């Protein structure tokens, strides 16, 4: 047996042996996630992209088992955390986006499984899975639609415009002009 994070097995096999996986992997090991991050960073000027962005570490602990309330269905519980480089949608600068997710999945071959409190149903397309793929999918789903600096002070967003007394108000006379036309 090689790396349990990369081994392809059935969830039942993993649950039967009570597989626990502790890992620390670089973003570069997660192909799809790496492509998403790369695509986001490509919006920046080349000199603003950190050359070591693929070296960001994602670490976690996964535990397979059979919860008592799951009617014999295998489950996965775990916590995954790390940070990725992203582009702030406010200031358009690269920054480190922290990610921390709890995973609580119940594996079923179809959608006939009854919902168990605290677990998300994970429908399998194949009999086997790689825990790495589950972690990667959970990380992708945890990405925000619009990444922003966590701390507003760190954001180099555009300076707010100063109000001036001589501002142009193009629609200020619109009501009176409409009344004249009626």
pLDDT digits (tens, 9 = 90+) for 74-108: 999 999 999 999 998 888 888 899 999 999 999 87
CA distances for 113 relative to 9, 68, 70, 128, angstroms: 20, 14, 9, 18
pLDDT digits (tens, 9 = 90+) for 43-69: 888 888 888 899 999 999 999 999 877
pLDDT > 90: percent of the chain:
47
If you average pLDDT over every residue of the chain, what do you get?
84
Q: Is 145 exposed, middle or buried (0-12, 13-18, 19+ CB in 10 A)?
A: exposed
Residue with tokens 């070296």: 55
Mean pLDDT value across residues 135-157? 85
- Please, which pLDDT band fits residue 159 given cuts at 50, 70 and 90? low
Name the pTM for this structure: 0.77
Closest CA to 80 of 37, 36, 13, 141: 141
């Amino acid at each position: 047996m090689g790396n349990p994070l990369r081994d392809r097995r059935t969830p039942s096999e993993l649950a039967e042996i009570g597989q626990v996986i502790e890992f620390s992997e670089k973003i570069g090991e997660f192909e799809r996630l790496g492509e998403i991050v790369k695509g986001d960073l490509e919006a920046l000027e080349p000199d603003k992209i950190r050359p070591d962005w693929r070296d960001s570490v994602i670490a976690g602990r996964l535990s397979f088992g059979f919860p008592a309330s799951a009617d014999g269905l295998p489950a996965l519980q775990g916590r995954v955390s790390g940070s990725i480089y992203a582009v702030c949608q406010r200031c358009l600068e690269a920054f480190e986006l922290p990610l921390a997710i709890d995973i609580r999945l119940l594996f079923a071959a179809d959608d006939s499984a009854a919902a168990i409190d605290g677990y998300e149903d994970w429908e399998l397309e194949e009999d086997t899975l790689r825990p790495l793929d589950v972690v990667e999918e959970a990380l992708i789903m945890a990405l925000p639609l619009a990444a922003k600096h966590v701390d507003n002070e760190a954001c180099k967003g555009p300076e707010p415009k100063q109000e001036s007394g001589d501002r142009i108000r193009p629609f200020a006379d619109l009501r009176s002009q409409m009344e004249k036309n009626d």
